[in-house]
Every structure is written in C-alpha cells, then in structure tokens.
Amino acid sequence: MTFISANLQAVRDRIRLAAAVAGRNADSIGLLAVSKTMPAERVRDAAAAGQRAFGENYVQEGVDKARQLAGLGLEWHFIGPLQSNKTRPVAETFAWVHSIDRLKLAERLSAQRPADLPPLNVCVQVNVSGEDTKSGCTLEEAPALCRAVAALPNLRLRGLMAIPAPADEMTAQREPLARLRQLFEQLNREGLSLDTLSMGMSHDLEAAVLEGATMVRIGTAIFGERKKPQGSEQ
Ligand SMILES: *Cc1c(COP(=O)(O)O)cnc(C)c1O
C-alpha cells in the first residue's frame, strides 16, 4: 500500500464520518483529488487506489498530465484562476471548470469546446469571504452571471465553487460556506437546476460537508505538502 492509498482511505473516512454527523449520505459527496504540482506518477498511484477525478490549477501542467495519463479513464477538473487567452487548451482537455468568475471566460470556453465532446461542466466561483482580492465574483454578481452562463450552448452549469479565507475554528469555517449554500438554494428556487456545491479543502472538509458540499477538493491530505511554486500558489 502506497502512502497515497493510505491517505485516500483516511480522507474517505473523514468524509464518511462528517456525513454521518451531518445526517447525509456519504455517496452524495464526491472527492476531487487536487494533484497540482504533483508528478504524474503520484496521480497514477491515486488512480490505482480507485480515485477517478483530479483537479489541476495550472493550464500547461494539467494538459500535460491529462495527456500522459490518457489511458486511465480519469476525469480532469480545472480549478485554478484562468486567463482568457488560455481557455482553448482547457476547453479541449478538461471535463469540468470550477473557476468561472466572469462571463467572457464562459463565452470563450463555450465557443472553443470541441463538438465531439460533451458539454463542459462548469461552476461559478464566488468570493464568499469578501475582504480579500482572491478570484471569484461577488455574491451580488453571482445570480446574473449564473443565468448568463447557463444559457451558453456548450457549457453545463452545475453549481458554485468557493475558496474561503482560511480559518481555524469550525464556526468561522462554516460561516462563508453557509453563504455559498444559501446562494445555491436561492438559485435553485429561482429555477436553475444546480447539483454541485464545490467546497471544502484539506483543512475544512468537515465544515464543508456539514454545510452541504457535494464535491470536496482535497490536495495536501492526499498527496502531502506541496513545494511552494513561484507566486501563484493559493
Ligand atoms: C490547492 C487547492 C485545493 C486543495 O487544497 P488543500 O488544502 O491542499 O487540500 C482545493 N481547491 C483549490 C481551488 C486549490 O487551488
């Protein structure tokens, strides 16, 4: 057993336990393994331990890994900040993009999605902590952006994503996550059919499950600490 398969088992146990506490079915919570900065071999180890969905933050790195591991039937999710001039390889390679924070990005991805692929699954990223300058639209902008994205032909709007400011206490962690859940519920009441709340990382997985996450994005707890790359680390 590799350390990665042991870590994956531990993360699955955390999800199961948190789901039990929340009174939720653990099967309703998907696990996205965030493999940014990790070599393809580590992804292969995780795949051998049964993990299918992987998250990447940097376009070239993600495209390279997806190509290298093309035979394994993995599902690739783009979760990092995306520049408009780099949408094409993302539209051609990934199954999901979680980081839509402006309409222009979504329009380009829709236009560039190859006709022989299914629609690109997308989430709108919302800045739920407000005070910092991290990516994501504001809570106020989100409804109009979601409606515009949902109308694009080659995208399928699945839900919302957030990266809250780090907090240690469970109550402080839950507060911004609850704001995302409330927005999600509001948008569904207004007629969008969203099924994905992409929230929860290694340090706040339990808080996210308690607040209704349907997809947690876990890096460090699966692959170990990352070396800090130049500047762009989240
Ligand atoms: C890096 C990253 C993660 C994973 O973070 P960990 O703390 O390592 O679990 C999740 N989501 C996004 C958007 C990230 O950039």
Q: What is the pLDDT of residues 147-191, one digit of tens each?
A: 999 999 999 999 999 999 999 999 999 999 999 999 999 999 999
CB 162 within 8 A of CB 184: no
Q: Is 109 in the pocket of ligand 1 (CB under 6 A)?
A: no
Burial (CB < 10 A; 0-12, 13-18, 19+), residue 147, is middle
Q: How far apart are CA 166 and CA 152, in angstroms?
A: 33
CB 175 within 8 A of CB 131: no
- Domain-located, residue 228: no
Which of 34, 180, 199, 205 most suits a substitution to test ligand 1, by most atoms within 8 Å of the C-beta? 34
- Domain-located, residue 231: no
The number of distinct structural domains making up the chain is: 1
Q: What is the pTM of this model?
A: 0.96
- Domain-located, residue 206: yes
For residue 66, report the phi and psi dihedrals to the nearest 5 degrees.
Answer: -60, -40
Q: Is pLDDT of 227 > 90?
A: no
CA 218 – ligand 1 centroid, Å: 6
- Domain-located, residue 233: no
Q: Is 34 in the pocket of ligand 1 (CB under 6 A)?
A: yes
At 134, list the tokens.
Answer: 């991290």
pLDDT tens digits along 15-45: 999 999 999 999 999 999 999 999 999 999 9
- Domain-located, residue 21: yes
The domain spanning residue 92 has which CATH number? Answer: 3.20.20.10
Q: Is 100 in the pocket of ligand 1 (CB under 6 A)?
A: no
- Domain-located, residue 117: yes
Domain that holds residue 84: 3-223
- Domain-located, residue 170: yes
- Domain-located, residue 211: yes
What local confidence, expressed as pLDDT, does residue 230 receive? 53
At 37, list the tokens.
Answer: 């900065």
Name residue 147's amino acid: R
